[in-house]
Amino acid sequence: MYFFLNYLALSDLFYTSTVTPKLMTDLLMEKKAISYKNCMTQLFTAHFFGGGIEVLILTRMAYDHYVAICKPLHYAIIMNRQRRHSILIASCAEGLLHSLCLFLLEIVLSFCGPNEIDHCFCDVYPLLKLACTDTHKIGFFVIANSGLMGLVLFVVLMASYILILYNVHTYSAESCHKTLSTCSSHITVIILFFALVIFVYIRPATTLPEDKVFMLFYTIIVPMLNPLIYTLRNMEMKIFIRRVWCNKTFWEGRLMT
């Protein structure tokens, strides 16, 4: 699990870096502008790291949990080093294909003035509103490429965890507790991320005022919460935080006396 968590954290870091610095700069500047080249780069990188790699790593982590919990004796054979690296490479390749398709669809469009994006960053639907040509077919492709794909993966992930819980319901109470402790953090991250992505991309090519708020959640807040969610589910980290907190309380008491 920690192998995939390392690359999930790295993906989150790059994902937020494509949006947050520019967003913070715009908050401090009176004139908020972005060049066409930088806009297309932001579109590609955001969907590569967030809509591609992160989504697919979360999906592979569910499979990793399934093997570890339901087939523990075969885990070392099934999830060997070669298999883990192959899964990671496949996730990067699929993420590249996903973002490249959206990038090519946008780059061939011609845009009419005024080129004002009613959004916090260069995303697919706000850019389609600026196009001079008919974008209905492209909108349906975006639904299939992003919204429908996210919905299918979400259903598969939830079904996989239902299967895991069904397989362990005959185990001891301690085993069930360990399973819930292992899976609950991942399920929380999946629900937070996929629910927002599905809401934004499953509908036709329209933008709503609420999209800006949801964008902040799935591009900044959710990646920021991921390390916290996984860290607080780790028993060793819980013990370490408790020890630090107890030592802090002890020294504060000594200073007061």
Q: What would the pLDDT profile of 45-68 be if each residue is shown by its tens digit?
A: 888 888 788 888 888 888 888 888
CA 48 – CA 25 distance, rounded (Å): 23
Q: Is 257's pLDDT higher than 60?
A: no
Q: Which of 1 and 4 is assigned the larger pLDDT?
A: 4
Contacts of residue 88, defined as CB under 8 A and 6 or more positions apart, other chains included, come to 4, 7, 57, 60
* Stated length of the chain: 257
pTM comes to 0.79
- Reading the block at residue 123, the tokens are 């995303």
What is the chain's mean pLDDT, rounded?
80
**Amino acid at the residue 227:** P
Contacts of residue 203, defined as CB under 8 A and 6 or more positions apart, other chains included, come to 143, 147
Predicted local distance difference test score (pLDDT) of residue 253: 52
Predicted local distance difference test score (pLDDT) of residue 248: 56
Q: Is 97's pLDDT higher than 80?
A: yes
Q: Is 250's pLDDT higher than 50?
A: no
CA 146 – CA 158 distance, rounded (Å): 18
Contacts of residue 178, defined as CB under 8 A and 6 or more positions apart, other chains included, come to none
Predicted local distance difference test score (pLDDT) of residue 233: 60
Q: Among all chains, which residue has been given the structure tokens 């979400």?
A: 154
Contact predicate 106/40, CB 8 Å = yes
Q: What would the pLDDT profile of 12-29 be if each residue is shown by its tens digit?
A: 888 888 888 888 888 788
DSSP string for residues in 47-116: IIIIIIIIHHHHHHHHHHHHHHHH-GGGHHHHT-HHHHHHHHHHHHHHHHHHHHHHHHHHHT--B-S---
194: confidence class by pLDDT, cuts 50, 70, 90: confident
Q: What is the number of alpha carbons within 13 Å of residue 99 lying toward its C-beta?
A: 24
Q: Is 101's pLDDT higher than 70?
A: yes
Class of residue 172 by CB neighbours under 10 A (exposed 0-12, middle 13-18, buried 19+): exposed
